Amino acid sequence: MSNPLRVIDYNYDLPAELIAQVPVPRRDRSRLLVLDRRTGSLQYRLFCDLAELLTPGDLLVINDAKVFPARLFGRAERLRSVEVLLTREIETDCWEALIRPSRKVRLGDRLELADGAIGAHTLRQWGEGTHLLRLACDGNLRDLLWRVGQMPLPPYISRHPPLYPQPSTLDPCLLDRERYQTVYAKHEGAIAAPTAGLHFTTELIHTLKVLGLEFAPITLYVGPGTFRPVRTASVEDHRVEPERYIIPEETATAIKTARHDGRRVIAVGTTTVRALEHAATDGEVRAGAGTADLFIYPGYRFRIIDAMITNFHLPRSTLLMLVSAFAGRERILAVYNEAITRRYRFYSYGDATMIV
């Protein structure tokens, strides 16, 4: 009987100053650390160098989910201030939401959000600070959220304005609406960006297409599970939260054709990896809608992807375990230590890796 995989073995020490609090001024000028998972060799490049690193015929599969301004602030009956993160619309104006502080919000409480522009009534409560809310406002709620909501930045981004002290005077919240979003975002409903895609510009995508690379979209709506810590001691005991995805027929066909032709399928982001691998049956990707609850950790046999582009991930996280399954735990941790030594920027607004 094999020894259980320990969560503690996926830990590493990251200096706080390497957690990127702002994006680089130009998306494709982030650094790109390229790892050959067979040899362990590294290349130190920029993201805009992708044209030199990819091969005509490569198929890049992207996640076109769009982040919406899901974070609201206001007050509750026993609280002078409350923060609400809308995570999923259950039915019209009825939302699953995370509330902070949660313990003082009770069933039946009423909340006033965004200076009273949105009213909320708690219908149900369950674990991890999650509530079911009925929302009310004048006009269309979705339109209102784009006026009064804030982008749901990850909890490790905590900064004070201005975002760019010089020379820009842009409001940080307004700039986040542009930069915490891929240039190809299309289908609204995610509460976290598929961050590997943040490095692409429309110009870079055009250049790659001209050189003979193909792009194919899937949509996976990133949910609150992205931020949930792994609290178990054993990797196998953890359960990931399911996330909804859609794979178009054209994308499934493009993947099947690329694999038949011997061309690489490159996943842009771990969200794309999970959707493709979850949808794989008999070595082929199944088109349609699904709910990905697949937990990928070392020992998993990948069926679809040949390479991936991804950001650096948090210690002891399911995403770090996923990339470790693809390239090996010791090799990935060595790469992360190298990145720390070279002062790479980590996490959502940070630099990228490509594992080939």
Do 164 and 132 meet the contact criterion of CB atoms below 8 Å apart? no
**Cα distance between residue 185 and residue 194, in whole Å:** 9
Q: Where are the alpha helices (DSSP H) in 32-109?
A: 50-53
Per-residue pLDDT, 82: 93
Cα angle 65, 243, 181 (rounded to 5 degrees) comes to: 25
> Rounded CA gap, 127 and 115, in Å?
28
Task: Note if the pTM is more than 0.85.
Answer: yes
Beta strands (DSSP E) in the chain are 31-35, 42-46, 59-63, 65-67, 71-76, 79-91, 94-100, 110-113, 118-126, 130-136, 187-190, 214-220, 243-247, 265-268, 280-281, 284-285, 288-292, 307-311, 352-355
Q: Is residue 247 within 8 Å of 267, Cβ to Cβ?
A: no
Q: Looking at residue 159, what is its pLDDT? A: 65
- Please report, for residues 84, 130, 222, 323, 330, the alpha-carbon distance to residue 317 in angstroms, rounded to integers and kept in the order given: 24, 21, 15, 10, 15
Domain ranges of the chain: 7-67+177-355, 71-148
DSSP-based three-state secondary structure for 329: helix
Q: How high is the mean pLDDT in each 10-residue block of the chain (356 residues)?
A: 83 97 96 96 98 97 97 90 94 92 88 95 84 94 94 84 42 80 97 97 98 98 82 94 96 98 98 97 91 95 97 97 98 98 98 98
Tell me the helices (H) and strands (E) count for the chain, helix number first. Answer: 8, 19
CATH number of the 71-148 domain: 2.40.10.240
DSSP state of 120: E
CATH of 7-67+177-355, picked from 3.30.360.10, 3.40.1780.10, 3.40.50.12160, 1.20.120.1630, is 3.40.1780.10
pLDDT on residue 172 = 59
pLDDT of residue 281: 77
Residue 168: per-residue pLDDT: 44
